[in-house]
Amino acid sequence: MCFDEHSGTHVDAPAHFGEDSATVDAIDPQDLVLPAVVLDVRERIGADADATITPDDVLAHERRHGPLPGRCAVLALTGWGARAHDPVAYLNADAGGTLHSPGFSAEVMAWMAEERPGVRGVGLDTASLDPGNSTDFAAHVAWLPTGRYGIANAANLDRLPPTGATLVVGVPRYRGGSGGPARVLALVG
């Protein structure tokens, strides 16, 4: 079987950007079944295709819904998933080929790793953890080497409550992989 590790809904393992970090087959199974926290940043991001998720977004969520669970996955609902049916609009490349889509800031990744260490995974409804115009993949670099994983191209985040769902991440356990296509389910109720 042959496929691109980082296509469709997929997991970025710590090894994707972390030298000597866990490969996809070494992600702790306990980290693949977690309470889901959905940060709805659609209103703040609006039409800014280069917007980033910041610590203020997490803090605003906590003010409205309480502290993050001890162990959890933080998912950002940017609204970008509504473009998934149109690959050109989804990737949103300008005339020079630079992509434009929201993503996590390196600042929020480092902040969560330090201030919210129970966050084991992050995800969002765009093609990458970083904003599309990133050239240094700073969010990946700040997050993955800490031993945590990311999910890109998540679908249907708008159907989840801000808290109360359980995320179940099914990812192939092939030896040495830096990630892989995933079946990500959310159990609500």
> Per the domain annotation, does 72 fall within a domain?
yes
Q: Give me the pLDDT at residue 2, please.
A: 61
Residue 179 maps to a domain: no
Counted domains in the chain: 1
Where is pLDDT greater, at 51 or 176?
Answer: 51
The secondary structure of 76-91 as a DSSP string is: EE-SGGGGTT-HHHHH
Distance CA 106, CA 118 (A): 18
Question: Within a domain: residue 78?
Answer: yes
Cα separation, 114 vs 127, in Å, equals: 25
d(C-alpha 28, C-alpha 36), whole Å:
17
Residues in the chain: 189
Looking at residue 24, which CATH number applies to its domain? 3.50.30.50
The residues, any chain, with a CB within 8 Å of residue 7's CB and separated by 6 or more, are 181
pLDDT digits (tens, 9 = 90+) for 94-125: 999 999 999 999 999 999 999 999 999 999 99
pLDDT digits over 122-176, tens only?
Answer: 999 999 999 999 999 999 999 999 999 999 999 999 999 999 999 999 988 778 6
Q: What is the pLDDT of residue 14?
A: 78
138 within domain boundaries: yes
Share of the chain above pLDDT 70, in %: 95
Report the pLDDT value the prediction gives residue 20, as an integer from 0 to 100: 83
Does residue 173 sit within a domain?
Answer: no
* Domain assignment present for 109: yes
Q: Is residue 60 assigned to a domain?
A: yes
What average pLDDT does this structure show over 2-19? 73
In a domain, 51, yes or no: yes
Q: Which has more confidence, 148 or 1?
A: 148
Catalytic residue among 10, 16, 61, 140: 16
10 as an active site residue: the answer is: no
More confident residue, 46 or 114: 114
The three-point CA angle 29-35-36 to 5° equals: 110
pLDDT in the model for residue 1: 62
The predicted pLDDT at position 3 comes to 62
Q: What is the pLDDT of residue 6?
A: 63
**Phi-psi label, residue 80: left if phi above 0, alpha if psi -120 to 50, beta otherwise:** alpha
Span 34-59, average pLDDT: 96
Q: Domain span at residue 121?
A: 10-165
